[in-house]
Amino acid sequence: MRLLRNAAEVRSVLADDRAAGRSIGLVPTMGAFHAGHLALMTASTAQDDVTVVSLFVNPAQFGPSEDLARYPRDESGDATAAEATGVGILFVPSAQEIYPAGFDTWVDPGELAAVLEGAVRPGHFRGVATVCTTLFSIVQPARAYFGRKDAQQVAVVKQVVRDLAMPLEIVACPTVRDPDGLALSSRNAYLSADQRASALALPRALEAGLAAHRGGGDPVATAEEVLAAEPALAVDYVAVADLDGPTLAAAVRVGPTRLIDNVRLED
Ligand code: AMP
């Protein structure tokens, strides 16, 4: 595996792969890899001849009061884990590399980016859409892999790719969970044992909502009831939305940590 920090190097290495007819897969990440990230890499290495993983904690998708400064970082552990899954290139740009002096062009997705996460985190999806566009432009992959854990992100990125006629396929991969049901997230590292026990109400609420939906009931009201029974959680939202298919999505806060999760209501 090559660890590259400059876009120009990535372009030049991949030009050779492309000339040799090799297909390129991209897995955009912010690092602190867990089994959810590794599943995306494995999906790409199974499908594509060359897998590029980007590791970039994108300042543009964090709000001013969010956890950018304390976001978990472990570049050497990440490099070891990525290499073990057969990744060809780990691209670790600096903020300066992605947003050089004078950078002033933004990709601003519309209505879909204004609800749910977008309503709670203004500008978040503008940051996501912009960095993904830049990464797609540098890597020019045939496919880019995203996790359904961030279902709204999948839907927004698919919309951007469609609207701007970008020549790549967005592949959505299932959410990877711990055996207790909690969706893996780099932010789970922030949770104390007690907070983690409280956080389990989130997947429980979504499963209860899904079961209610299947039985002809109201998924949102059912999920809200389960969350209301856990006093340590503050609920940001529970909603059904078309996020690349009908989806029950929720966001909660446990102490200072914000967690999101979702279930698809139909396969
Ligand atoms: P992040 O590093 O949090 O920006 O995530 C990078 C990619 O990994 C995104 O496409 C996420 O949706 C995906 N991802 C994060 N957690 C999970 C998970 N538990 N299961 C599947 N994919 C995930």
- Summarize pLDDT for 47-71 with one digit per residue, the tens: 999 999 999 999 999 999 999 999 9
Instruction: Check residue 267 and give its pLDDT.
Output: 79
Categorize the per-residue pLDDT at 220 as very low, low, confident or very high, splitting at 50, 70 and 90. very high
Give catalytic status of residue 34 as yes or no.
Answer: no
The contacts of residue 64 (CB under 8 Å, 6+ apart) are none
| CA–CA distance, 245 with 132 (Å, rounded to integer) | 21
**CA-to-CA dists, residue 219 to 85, 97, 236, 238, 239, angstroms:** 37, 44, 16, 9, 8
The ligand 1 atom at the shortest distance from the C-alpha of residue 175 is 20
Instruction: Check residue 136 and give its pLDDT.
Output: 99
pLDDT of 206 above 90: yes
Which whole number is the average pLDDT over 123-137? 98
Categorize the per-residue pLDDT at 84 as very low, low, confident or very high, splitting at 50, 70 and 90. very high
| CA–CA distance, 115 with 155 (Å, rounded to integer) | 12
260 in contact with ligand 1, CB cutoff 6 A? no
pLDDT of 105 above 90: yes
Instruction: Check residue 149 and give its pLDDT.
Output: 98
Percent of the chain residues past pLDDT 70, beyond the cut:
100
Percent of the chain residues past pLDDT 90, beyond the cut:
100
| CA–CA distance, 188 with 70 (Å, rounded to integer) | 13
The ligand 1 atom at the shortest distance from the C-alpha of residue 31 is 2
Instruction: Check residue 98 and give its pLDDT.
Output: 98
Which whole number is the average pLDDT over 193-207? 98
Categorize the per-residue pLDDT at 237 as very low, low, confident or very high, splitting at 50, 70 and 90. very high
The ligand 1 atom at the shortest distance from the C-alpha of residue 145 is 10
3-state secondary structure of 249: strand
Specify the residue for token string 């609800």: 115
Which residue's CA is the closest to the ligand 1 atom numbered 18?
36
Categorize the per-residue pLDDT at 230 as very low, low, confident or very high, splitting at 50, 70 and 90. very high
Categorize the per-residue pLDDT at 229 as very low, low, confident or very high, splitting at 50, 70 and 90. very high
Which whole number is the average pLDDT over 118-130? 98
Task: Please tell me the chain's helix, strand, coil percentages from 3-state DSSP, rounded to the nearest 5.
Answer: 45, 20, 35
Which residue's CA is the closest to the ligand 1 atom numbered 14?
147
